[in-house]
């Protein structure tokens, strides 16, 4: 499907004419198109993959399947991304890069889209350190979220980061259009472009721990170790 969002000071009649001119020739389907996609069965045990790739540095990726955008759990998962893996102040960066110094960089987040996807964390292994060290540290951060409530301060910082991103997006016409299109396509309700602010405002510490317990389980974990080509 195609969605067009037009935002700004424009002439409605002219806009409709242009949309009709350039998109009107695309015929509407004469049948209902099923939105059925192949779904992977829930994993019953941790999966591990090691690959040799044309990759400059050794790396470890730890990932977990998560739900789709618009699901009630997607909102605390967005904030979990901020807390765990978004930026230099995130937990995995502070732990693996600054404190333990076992990784050159660490990042990740929830790939929260229209269909279920993955929440992942990536770390580049520092010289002299091992994949196993880095994997253990990444998994420990996910487990910590499952087993220990975050602080109110961390939660508020994550909310502040969300509100900052939200406001920055709305400073441009393109950003406004993107938010409106997202509301229509994902939620089928344009009013959610504003309503999500209240949802994030009301998020609690318990919401973060709840989704961590739900999705970051040992049996659903995927571990990918990347070795530079030619190394062992």
Environment class of residue 96 by beta-carbon count within 10 Å: exposed (0-12), middle (13-18) or buried (19+)? buried
List C-alpha distances in Å: 128 to 58, 101, 125, 160, 207: 11, 10, 8, 37, 38
pLDDT for residue 102 is more than 80: yes
How much is the average pLDDT of 183-194? 84
pLDDT in tens, 126-154: 999 999 999 999 999 999 999 999 999 99
Structural domains in the chain? 12-228 (3.30.830.10)
- The enclosing H or E element of 4 equals none
Least confident of 11-15, 85-89, 96-100, 157-161: 85-89
Per-residue confidence (pLDDT) for residue 231, from 0 to 100: 67
Residues linked to residue 122 through DSSP beta bridges, in sequence order: 61, 107
Per-residue confidence (pLDDT) for residue 29, from 0 to 100: 79
pLDDT for residue 79 is more than 90: yes
Tell me how many degrees the CA angle 81-87-90 measures, rounded to the nearest 5.
60
How much is the average pLDDT of 201-214? 97
The residue that leads in pLDDT, 30 or 123, is 123
* pLDDT category of residue 41 using cuts at 50, 70 and 90: confident
Per-residue confidence (pLDDT) for residue 150, from 0 to 100: 96
Environment class of residue 87 by beta-carbon count within 10 Å: exposed (0-12), middle (13-18) or buried (19+)? exposed
How much is the average pLDDT of 188-200? 85
pLDDT in tens, 152-166: 999 999 999 999 988
List C-alpha distances in Å: 154 to 59, 168, 180, 228: 27, 21, 29, 36
Per-residue confidence (pLDDT) for residue 232, from 0 to 100: 63
């Amino acid at each position: 499907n195609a969605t067009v969002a037009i935002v700004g000071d424009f002439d409605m009649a002219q806009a409709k004419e242009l949309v009709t001119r350039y998109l009107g020739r695309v015929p509407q389907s004469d049948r209902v198109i099923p939105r059925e996609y192949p779904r992977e069965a829930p994993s019953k045990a941790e999966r591990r993959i090691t690959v040799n790739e044309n990759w400059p540095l050794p790396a470890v990726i730890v990932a977990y399947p998560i739900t789709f955008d618009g699901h009630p759990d997607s909102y605390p998962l967005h904030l979990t991304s901020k807390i765990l893996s978004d930026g230099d102040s995130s937990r995995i960066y502070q732990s693996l890069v600054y404190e333990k110094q076992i990784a050159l960089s660490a990042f990740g987040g929830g790939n929260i889209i229209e269909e279920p996807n993955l929440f992942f964390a990536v770390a580049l292994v520092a010289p002299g350190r091992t994949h196993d060290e880095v994997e253990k540290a990444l998994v420990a951060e996910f487990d910590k979220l499952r087993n220990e409530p975050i602080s109110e301060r961390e939660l508020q910082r994550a909310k502040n980061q969300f509100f900052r991103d939200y406001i920055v997006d709305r400073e441009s016409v393109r950003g406004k259009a993107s938010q409106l299109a997202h509301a229509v396509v994902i939620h089928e309700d344009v009013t959610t472009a504003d309503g999500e602010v209240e949802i994030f405002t009301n998020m609690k510490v318990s919401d973060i721990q709840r989704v961590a317990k739900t999705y970051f389980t040992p049996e659903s974990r995927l571990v990918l170790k990347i070795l530079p080509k030619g190394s062992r």
